[in-house]
Amino acid sequence: MSAVTSERPSAGARLAALGRTLVSPRGAVFLLLIVLLIAMAVLNPSFAEPSQFIRFVQRVAPVAIVAIGQYFVIVGGEFDLSMGSVVTAQVVIAGNLIGQDEAKSLPVLALMLAFGAFIGLVNGLIVTLLKVPSFIVTLGMMLALLGGTLYWTGGAATGNPADGFREIGRGGIRGIPVIDILPWSVVVLAVVLAAAIWFSKRPFGRTIIALGDNPTTARFSGTRNWWVKTSTFMISSLSATVAGVLLVGYAGVHPSVGRGYEFIAITAVVLGGVVLGGGRGWVVAAAAGAFALEALFTVLNFAGVPSTYRDAVQGAIIILAVAYSATTFRSRRRGRGIEASPDATSPTSPDAATPISPDAANKTSPAPAEERDAPASARPAPIPSTSRADNETKGGS
């Protein structure tokens, strides 16, 4: 991103750089999204109308918010499998506690946020202090929350909360020219995304990436690893809470709301070019991954793919897309493992670590390659440090 905006090359060079960015794994998700949106508009011209499109954005907002939360956990080197069940639990909490009493909206909302933060804190502390792999911790949390929800509801929806509370997910500002209605969900998504971009540019946000890249160096540079990691889990649980608030408005209360969201979010994040295992990624690409995924579902629907094998087609396309970014990343990593150490020592100031273009990857002396390929290094995200050899991470916190 920095290269595209700050270097001001000629229009042609900029276009070429943009093209390269779009085919690179980091930019591929945007290309995929554009292709899917065009396909959607071709299949169903009414979709291209702004009022229809904004409804699409409204619908994707909860998924995108969950993906943004998951991004922080993944880029920090962990997983959060409990997000979907946090959404479910929050939806049920809203339904049961608010009921038809609109006055309870704010207190219950505060309670939901506190509950979300608490779940994240528990996940984070077990991962960091007890050193249990996050995969297991959050899997356990997922089952615990789902079981708790089932116990509480008896497997059935208890009824939707007051309409005033549901307005956040269902309603919007009406009477706006062109788009007709500006759903509150879209506003919330914009705010969350802006906050996420701002946050990931702050030192603390950088530290998360550094931690995901190499916990040992992060620790040596004075990071309180346990707190940084715990906070990523709190961010993800809170984002799941926000998604839950939107979903309870959009869809209503049902124990199946939120089901599978953790996997959709992880897929979206990976589709957005974020590396599983941490250390690389751009939050906007993760959000774009969520949009691409939902656009894919919609295209398959518009294309009239029969319901019996729609899932299979979805799966195949997702595997292809993810495999694409994974193979290119791996080939880059292999070529560059040797030069990891110099840059990895300064992960907290990613902009200082000059992004190295893939062309430099198979050169043995990184310095001249960096200079020569500087204009070609147009990437959507600053890369905080180079890749690491796997054994470097073994001694991590």
Partner 1 sequence: MRRRYTVASAMVGALALLTMAGCTTDPNVAAPTDDAASTEESVEWFDQELFDKQDAERDVVPEGPDGEPWLQHINAEMVDTSEFAAEGAKKACFANASISNPWRTTGWITMNQQLEVLQEAGVISEMETRDAQDSDDTQIADIDYFIEEGGCDVFIISPNSTAAMTPAVERACETGKPVIVFDRGVQTDCPVTFIHPIGGFAWGIDTAEFLIDELEEGDKVVALRILPGVDVLEQRWAAAEKLFDEAGIEAVDYFTGADPAEIKKIISDELAKGDVQGIWMDAGDGAVAAIEAFEDAGVDYPVMTGEDEMSFLRKWKETGLTGLAPVYSNFQWRTPLLAVQKIFAGEEVPSEWVLPQSPITAEEVDQYLALNENMPDGHYAKFGGEDLPGYPQVWEDRIVP
- Taking the complex as a whole, the smallest distance from the CB of residue 358 to partner 1 amounts, in Å, to 5
Residue 233 or 291 with smaller CB distance to partner 1 = 291
Residue 62 or 76 with smaller CB distance to partner 1 = 62
Residue 323 or 352 with smaller CB distance to partner 1 = 323
Residue 56 or 226 with smaller CB distance to partner 1 = 56
- Taking the complex as a whole, the smallest distance from the CB of residue 247 to partner 1 amounts, in Å, to 6
- For residues 237 and 265, give the distance between their C-alpha atoms in angstroms, rounded to a whole number: 13
- Taking the complex as a whole, the smallest distance from the CB of residue 252 to partner 1 amounts, in Å, to 5
125, with CB counted inside 10 A (0-12, 13-18, 19+), is: middle
**Cβ–Cβ under 8 Å, residues 247 and 169:** yes
- Taking the complex as a whole, the smallest distance from the CB of residue 256 to partner 1 amounts, in Å, to 4
Q: Which two tokens mark 140?
A: 């356990």
- For residues 42 and 105, give the distance between their C-alpha atoms in angstroms, rounded to a whole number: 42
- Taking the complex as a whole, the smallest distance from the CB of residue 125 to partner 1 amounts, in Å, to 30
Residue 55 or 229 with smaller CB distance to partner 1 = 55
Residue 117 or 305 with smaller CB distance to partner 1 = 305
- Taking the complex as a whole, the smallest distance from the CB of residue 91 to partner 1 amounts, in Å, to 10
- Interacting residues with partner 1 (CB under 8 A): 23-25, 28, 31-32, 35-36, 39, 42-44, 46-47, 52, 55, 59, 62, 150-151, 153-160, 170, 247, 250-252, 254, 256-257, 259, 296-309, 313, 317, 320-321, 324, 327-328, 331, 335, 358-359, 361-362
Residue 112 or 137 with smaller CB distance to partner 1 = 112
- Taking the complex as a whole, the smallest distance from the CB of residue 47 to partner 1 amounts, in Å, to 6
- Taking the complex as a whole, the smallest distance from the CB of residue 308 to partner 1 amounts, in Å, to 6
- Taking the complex as a whole, the smallest distance from the CB of residue 344 to partner 1 amounts, in Å, to 22
Residue 256 or 349 with smaller CB distance to partner 1 = 256
Residue 126 or 242 with smaller CB distance to partner 1 = 242
